[in-house]
Amino acid sequence: MTLIEQLSEALGRPAPESLQRGDLEGRADPRHDAAVLVAVTERDEPGVILTVRREHLRAHAGQIAFPGGRLDPGEDHVTAALREAEEEIALDPAAVRVLGSADPYHTITGYRVVPVVGVVPPELNLAPHEDEVADLFEAPLSFLLDPANHRQMSAEFQGATRHYWQIDWQDRRIWGATAAMIVNLARRFGTA
């Protein structure tokens, strides 16, 4: 069974109790429902497409993220994730084979984010949106899912100690909600 087939099977299993749920202090708001696309490249060694947000953006400047954003009125999570990926990295929605949705994650900023996992062909002609995305890259799925690469970190934020996940790949620092969603995928996959 390929890694992508295993991932598809894992998405169909009940969620493990060890999932990172994020900030569940009641700050999630239906107006802050969002979706991201976890785009897995269909290769012998699959990768995951990630973006680097532009430094001038008001929120999450310079951070590594999945393509995604808020749901527009009338959209479901899959539609929103595909729309956002097309807007941010020029990924044609018709090129994505959706495997399913992963577990929602609640951000400290009040968003309920649903990761939509999809498979895309390798070597797509992707282009970062010049106003939103500084760069995009592909990290190996096996590396991201390996618990040995997940580090729990802490920092002071708004007068409280906050704990977060970090995954370092090459010179890239994947952290916060993006890393937590990857850790959740690994836990669902059974590798964490």
Domain region containing 169: 3-189
Collect all residues with Cβ–Cβ distance below 8 Å to 101 and sequence separation of at least 6: 11, 77, 78, 114, 115, 116, 117
Pairing assessment for the beta strands 151-157 and 105-106 based on DSSP bridges: unpaired
Find the CATH number of the domain harbouring 150: 3.90.79.10
Residue 24 has pLDDT above 80, yes or no: no
Count CA within 13 A, CB hemisphere, residue 78. 11
CA distance 113 to 69: 8
State pLDDT tens for residues 106-152.
887 788 999 999 999 998 999 988 878 889 999 999 999 999 999 99
Q: Is the pLDDT of residue 186 over 50?
A: yes
pLDDT single digits (tens) 41-96: 999 999 999 999 775 545 554 589 999 999 999 999 999 999 999 999 999 999 99
Q: In terms of Cα–Cα distance, which of 153, 192, 157, 158 is closest to 173?
A: 153
Q: Quick check: 50 and 66 in contact, CB under 8 A?
A: yes
140-184 confidence digits (pLDDT tens): 999 999 999 999 998 887 787 888 899 999 999 999 899 999 999
Q: What is the pTM of this model?
A: 0.90
Q: According to the model, what pLDDT value does residue 160 have?
A: 79
**How many structural domains comprise the chain?**
1
Phi, psi of 185 (to 5 degrees): -60, -40
Determine the pLDDT at residue 44: 93
The pLDDT of residue 21 is 74
